[in-house]
Amino acid sequence: MKAKFTRTFVALLFSVFLAGCSLNPFAKKAGVQVTAHPDANVVINGESVGKTPYYAENKVPGSYTVQITAVDSGQTWEGKVNLLGGTLTTVHREFGETQDKSHSYTLSFEKLSNAKAAAVNIVSLPASATVSIDGNPQGFTPLSLDIDSGAHVFTFTAPGYQDKIVNATVQPGFRLLLSLTMSALDITPTPTPTIATDSAAILTPTPANTTVTPLPKQASPSAVLAKPYVEILTTPTGWLKVRESASTSSNELAKVNPGDKFAYKESATAGWYQIEYLTGEWGYISSTYAKIVN
């Protein structure tokens, strides 16, 4: 299943009130912006402050608890943020049908000792999500690294979750703290095969104008393998997709199960293993849910 990208657009804002000179009474205050879809009620440190979108630029710097409750469904998200003087902290929540179909991000900032440097620290749920910055792979969450100041595009992918893109701007002298929750993809169950009775199969006629898609070949792990080999780890779905190439958008060839073991080739693509899922048949799996046994 090819995942759709979710885009969000945010920036570090230095308004007249937040970044003025020493005579500005708001120079040491912090800003916070809370948005949600659909609309939600906002509670900060136990006090109701209204509905989304909520914006305040005169907060005292420090730690705050933000609670967002969807008006229509009553679904609730809660998290802690640290407001830094002279910066705007952003919290956004997209409420889905269930908690696992919802996603969110929080953007806040830390002051660096080097006024010319810029950095980013990223955490995600699920952990070990693949991170690309401006189209260049950087590794897996949690991730911390120095970056150039300015606007950046952060792309996140993880098996079983919808891909996500966050656009953010980092000013010199600050570290961006990006906390992300991804939404789970819908998983289509495999149809139960028809069981034959009295030596005759029960056949269900195919309706007219219906396209029947054959099931993919199921992988056959080898019983005895020479080391090193790849072993499949526990996954959120109970299985792991084998793909035609090292990409979450490539065709699915088969599914493998936790505990299965396969011969493998070293892949030049970070985050993927190439395994022999059937005799003479090779495909790619995410290295997030597999390990090499030596």
Instruction: State the residue for tokens 């299965």.
Output: 260
Question: Which residue in 90, 61, 87, 48 sits closest to 171, CA to CA?
Answer: 87
Residues 251 and 153 in one domain: no
Q: How confident is the model at residue 27, as a pLDDT? A: 57
Tens-digit pLDDT string for the chain (294 aa): 444 444 444 444 433 333 333 334 445 799 999 999 999 999 999 999 999 999 998 999 999 999 999 999 999 999 999 999 989 999 999 999 898 899 999 999 999 999 999 999 999 999 999 999 999 999 999 999 999 999 999 999 999 999 999 989 899 999 999 999 999 987 655 565 555 444 433 334 444 443 333 334 444 454 467 788 889 898 877 788 888 888 888 888 888 888 888 888 876 677 888 888 887 888 888 888 888 888
Q: How confident is the model at residue 272, as a pLDDT? A: 87
Q: How confident is the model at residue 37, as a pLDDT? A: 92
Q: Which two tokens stand for residue 247?
A: 């990409």
Residue 212 belongs to a domain: no
What's the CA gap between 162 and 105, in Å, rounded? Answer: 14
Q: How confident is the model at residue 255, as a pLDDT? A: 86
Q: How many distinct structural domains can be found in the chain? A: 2
Residue 74 belongs to a domain: yes
Residue 188 belongs to a domain: no
Q: How confident is the model at residue 190, as a pLDDT? A: 55
Residues 150 and 233 in one domain: no
Give the chain as a 3 state SS string. CCCCCEEEECCCCCCCCCCCCCCCCCCCCEEEEEEEECCEEEEECCEEEEECCEEEEEECCEEEEEEEEECCCCCEEEEEEEECCCCEEEEEEECCCCHHHCEEEEEEEEECCCCCCEEEEEEEECCCCEEEECCEEEEECCEEEECCCEEEEEEEECCCECCEEEEEEECCCEEEEEEEECCECCCCCCCCCCCCECCECCCCCCCCCCCCCCCCCCCCCCCCCCCCEEEECCCCCCCEEEECCCCCCCCEEEEECCCCEECEECCCCCCEEEEEEECCEEEEEEHHHEEEEC
Q: Which two tokens stand for residue 232?
A: 């499949």
Single residue among 120, 148, 181 that ends a domain in this structure: 181
Residues 21 and 151 in one domain: yes
Residue 197 belongs to a domain: no
CATH number of residue 260's parent domain:
2.30.30.40
Residues 177 and 250 in one domain: no
Residues 41 and 173 in one domain: yes
C-alpha distances (whole Å) from 56 to each of 12, 26, 46, 61, 81 are: 15, 12, 16, 12, 14
Residue 198 belongs to a domain: no
Single residue among 163, 181, 199 that ends a domain in this structure: 181
Q: What is the CA radius of gyration of the chain?
A: 24
Residues 10 and 139 in one domain: yes
Residues 164 and 240 in one domain: no
Residue 213 belongs to a domain: no
Q: How confident is the model at residue 109, as a pLDDT? A: 94
Angle in degrees, CA 218, 220, 221, rounded to 5: 135
Q: How confident is the model at residue 224, as a pLDDT? A: 63
Q: How confident is the model at residue 208, as a pLDDT? A: 42
Q: How confident is the model at residue 187, as a pLDDT? A: 65
Contact 138, 148 (CB under 8 A): no
Q: How confident is the model at residue 247, as a pLDDT? A: 84
* Structural domain that includes position 130: 6-181
Residues 164 and 234 in one domain: no
Residue 187 belongs to a domain: no
Residues 151 and 60 in one domain: yes
Residues 36 and 151 in one domain: yes
Contact 34, 68 (CB under 8 A): yes
Single residue among 153, 181, 209 that ends a domain in this structure: 181
Residues 252 and 167 in one domain: no
What's the CA gap between 97 and 102, in Å, rounded? Answer: 7
Residues 144 and 17 in one domain: yes
Residue 50 belongs to a domain: yes
